[in-house]
Amino acid sequence: MIWPLLYAALWKLAPPLIGHYLRRRARKQPEYLQHWDERWARGEPRADDAHGAIWVHAVSVGETRAAAPLVAALRARWPDKPLLITQMTPTGRETALSLYPDACVRYLPYDAPDAVARFLGRYQPMFGVLMETELWPHLIAGCRAHGVPLFLANARLSERSARGYRRAAGLIGPALASLDGVAAQSEDDAARLRALGARQVAVCGNLKFDITPPPQAAALAAQLRQWRGERPLWMAASTREGEEALLLDALPADSPAVLLLTPRHPQRFAEVAELLRARGIPFQRRSDNTALRADTRVWLGDSMGEMFAYYQAVDLAFIGGSLLPLGGQNLIEPAAVGCPVLIGPSTFNFAEVTRLALAEGAARQVADADELHRTVATLLADPDTRQRMGAAGLAFAQRHRGATARTLAHLLGCVGEVVD
């Protein structure tokens, strides 16, 4: 019983600390100061509040994009129901507004019991879907108390995260057990979730395999290829803090290739530009909307929502978050458009996907930045191998599609009688 009491006490102390945290984040991203009332489910009701909605919570950009196939399936199943999308980050909110312009988009309130009660009382969702591993004990308990079925979709749980949750098993176990169902990405994820107390767990696969490129991506990719000209172009995608310095310090001075460098978080675009200036590396920004200059060595991908176009425009892509012990980012998107993939040593966030991609020849793994640059040079000089890797990536992505249908079927099996 001690964990729930400690957790409840924490939320009595949390508001001023959270206010300080949001103001600090706002120094780099002012949007963190907007919609403050939503963080605590305060404020007057709004005309576009979605009552009785299908509710999907996706914490940030990756989860919001991953939810797209499931959201489409849910809307097809319940076409007359409004859609409520909640986030935790400004970039996630911006992505949701772009992908779902007719939805009610809000921040999920912090996990204080009174905020949870206000949120559920205001929107009274028909049911909720939490994307990946968003486990908020008071939210889950509040849904149970308000009779709101709650489902965990595209769930993943690394061994590292499982160890942390086991230390708070008295808090996390009851929360997991209170969920109405769980759609896990892999057998390993399912086993870890069951061991922590989850019930009604099914292995449904990864929803990210069912994402399709937006129609405008192909046209933008053609424009980017025109701007790059005949020079080789490779990409370091979704890089995290600390990785750009490693990549740039190891960048070969005599390489004819251009590096398309795309930091994962937009608030770091200026920071990465400063890294390039400090090293005297000629670069230009994607947002300049101009062709590559002859002296440009790095193209800074300072845009949002264009990753599919980037993957279709480059010769190969390295997936960031994997050079440092950060667990890696999503390699499914480049594979799905036939882009050869390189990945670093840290892959625990996408362990099963990475294992499959490596086994099926869609990706290669490198140990560090120096090996990455050597491998890039080798592959850029070997179009036949790149073609084989791209074809393997297409086959890999196609082979593992179908998670949306399996997830929807499991959701209906768990909560269908309640919501139909």
Catalytic residues: 63
- How far apart are alpha carbons 410 and 28 in whole angstroms? 41
Cβ–Cβ < 8 Å for 364, 389: yes
- How far apart are alpha carbons 191 and 155 in whole angstroms? 11
- How far apart are alpha carbons 53 and 85 in whole angstroms? 9
Residue 238's H or E segment, with its range, is strand 233-239
Q: Which amino acid is at 347?
A: T
Query: Residues 6 or more apart from 73 whose CB is under 8 A from it?
Result: 404, 405, 407, 408
| Burial class of 48 by CB neighbour count within 10 A (0 to 12, 13 to 18, 19+) | exposed
| Beta pairing partners, 260 | 235, 299
Residue with tokens 């190969």: 316
Is 280 strand, coil or helix? coil
Could you tell me which of 330, 324, 342 has the C-alpha nearest to residue 242?
Answer: 324
| Beta pairing partners, 130 | 57, 152
How many residues can be counted in the chain? Answer: 420
